[in-house]
Amino acid sequence: MKNALELARKRVQEMAEEGIAVERIDPIEKARKNPKSLRLAITAKCWDCVGAGSDPNPRRAIKYCPCGEKCPLWHCRPYQKIKS
């Protein structure tokens, strides 16, 4: 059975072949569309804090956030590796 990521990538490829443009929504807009999601709110705030897309690799900037533990969201910021 294929996982959800593989299925999504396949669907995006099919849409590109059909000439359908895939719209990418920034994290702030995603949070606005679903205001009850705490995870989307945290991701949007971190994305805004690192420059809201001005950085070519915002995920890396969030992962290695320079604010450190001064930020109350630092421990729950997105794009961290999960420690087992």
> Residue 56 falls within a domain, yes or no?
yes
Confidence at residue 9, expressed as pLDDT on a 0 to 100 scale: 87
Q: How many CA atoms lie within 13 A of 61 on its CB side?
A: 15
pLDDT band at 28 (very low <50, low <70, confident <90, very high): very high
> Residue 81 falls within a domain, yes or no?
no
Domain tally, the chain: 1
> Residue 20 falls within a domain, yes or no?
no
Task: Please state whether the predicted TM-score (pTM) of the whole model is above 0.85.
Answer: no
Contact 40, 31 (CB under 8 A): yes
Residue 43 sits in which domain range?
26-76
Spell out a b/e string for 26-60, using b for 16 or more CB atoms within 10 Å of the CB, else e: ebbebbeeeeeeeebbbbbbbbebbeeeeeeebee
> Residue 8 falls within a domain, yes or no?
no
Q: What is the separation of C-alpha 82 from the centre of its chain, rounded to a whole number of angstroms?
A: 16
> Residue 62 falls within a domain, yes or no?
yes
Least confident window among 43-47, 65-69, 79-83:
79-83
Place of tokens 């719209």: 23
